[in-house]
């Protein structure tokens, strides 16, 4: 083992992880926004839209991400759309993430009790008001736990952007490997950095879940009616 390979080239690793963070965070945020639209379209009144949205989700979930990426980066230029690697990579990664987030959000929205939605509509809430004040605040409880897995998956899939020369962590690892011929040290360092990043993200999700659970419980404690009718540990998950 020769640690100097890693310590001497740390600027490249630092640049790499920074690019990985940028690209993956952009894809997570963008992917979540697309997924939200997809989830809404899947509850639409129009059959054609519903079918289109589920085809989008099924196709993206069933083809390897690398193929989607290559269609964007090598395929689209032949159709006259030329995108730089980082842009093509971020868009492809967002679409990929959106297919998984979309299913999660749809499930979480469906898990909000139907009666509450009907009650809101009966009280004269518009669709967007129901969404904003009734569905969205309550869906996080169901959406957050599975979202943690999808988020770390998105980070891990971002390593594939190295195949279209986006200078993220894996790409920099390959560069350092080519200069130093020390693949063992280099790829363990790369793996270690990914490990730290994904562990940090999972930790954030755990914190958010805990916070959500306790704030839900606090809301029940604050409300005299709720205190009377609900068992107080209902908001706590096993």
Partner 1 sequence: MEFSFEFMFSTIPALLSAAGVTIRVAAIAICLSITVGTLLTVIRALKIRPVNMAIELYISFIRGTPLLVQIFLAFYALPAIGIKLGPVTAGVLAITANNAAFMTEIFRGALASIPPGQIEASASLGLKSRAIWLKVILPQLYMRSLPAIINECTIVVKGTALLAVITVVEVFRTAQQIGSSSFRPFETFVAAGLVFLAMSLVISQFGLWLERRFALRRGV
Torsional sign, CA 53, 56, 58, 61: negative
Cβ 112 to partner 1, closest distance in Å? 25
Asked if 191 is part of the footprint of partner 1 (rule: CB under 8 A), the reply reads yes
φ, ψ of residue 148 in degrees (nearest 5)? -60, -45
One residue of 70, 125, 140, 142 binding partner 1 per CB under 8 A = 70
3-state helix, strand, coil in the chain (%, to 5): 85, 0, 15
- Binding residues among 117-176 for partner 1 as defined by CB under 8 A: 152, 155-160, 162-163, 170, 173-174
Closest CA to 161 of 64, 27, 69: 69
Cβ 158 to partner 1, closest distance in Å? 8
User: How many residues sit close enough to partner 1 to count as binding (CB under 8 A)?
Assistant: 41
φ, ψ of residue 128 in degrees (nearest 5)? -70, -30
Largest Cα–Cα separation, the chain:
69
Q: Which is nearer to partner 1, 134 or 157 (CB)?
A: 157
Which of the ranges 28-36, 83-91, 93-101, 187-195 carries the binding residues for partner 1, by CB under 8 A? 187-195
CA gap 69, 88 in Å, rounded: 7
Q: Which is nearer to partner 1, 65 or 101 (CB)?
A: 65
Coil, strand or helix at 220:
helix
One residue of 63, 179, 218, 219 binding partner 1 per CB under 8 A = 63
CA gap 65, 157 in Å, rounded: 7
Q: Which is nearer to partner 1, 64 or 84 (CB)?
A: 64
Q: Which residues bind to partner 1, rule: CB under 8 A?
A: 59, 62-68, 70-71, 74-76, 78-80, 152, 155-160, 162-163, 170, 173-174, 177, 182-184, 186-188, 190-191, 194-195, 198-199
């Amino acid at each position: 083992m020769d640690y100097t390979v890693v310590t001497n080239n740390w600027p490249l690793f630092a640049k790499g992880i920074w690019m990985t963070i940028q690209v993956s965070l952009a894809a997570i945020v963008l992917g979540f926004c697309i997924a939200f639209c997809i989830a809404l379209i899947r509850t639409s009144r129009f059959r054609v839209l519903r079918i289109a949205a589920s085809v989008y989700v099924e196709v993206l979930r069933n083809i390897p991400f690398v193929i989607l990426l290559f269609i964007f980066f090598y395929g689209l230029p032949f159709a006259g759309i030329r995108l730089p690697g980082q842009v093509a990579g971020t868009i492809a990664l967002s679409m990929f993430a959106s297919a998984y987030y979309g299913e999660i959000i749809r499930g979480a929205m469906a898990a909000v009790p139907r009666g509450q939605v009907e009650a809101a509509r009966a009280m004269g809430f518009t669709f967007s008001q129901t969404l904003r004040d009734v569905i969205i605040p309550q869906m996080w409880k169901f959406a957050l736990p599975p979202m943690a897995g999808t988020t770390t998956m998105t980070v891990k899939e971002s390593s594939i952007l190295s195949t279209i020369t986006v200078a993220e962590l894996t790409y920099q690892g390959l560069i350092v490997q080519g200069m130093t011929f020390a693949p063992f040290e280099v790829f363990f360092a790369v793996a270690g950095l990914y490990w730290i990043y994904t562990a940090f993200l999972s930790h954030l999700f755990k914190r958010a879940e805990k916070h959500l659970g306790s704030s839900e419980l606090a809301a029940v404690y604050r409300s005299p009616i709720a205190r009377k009718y609900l068992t107080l540990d209902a908001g706590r998950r096993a």
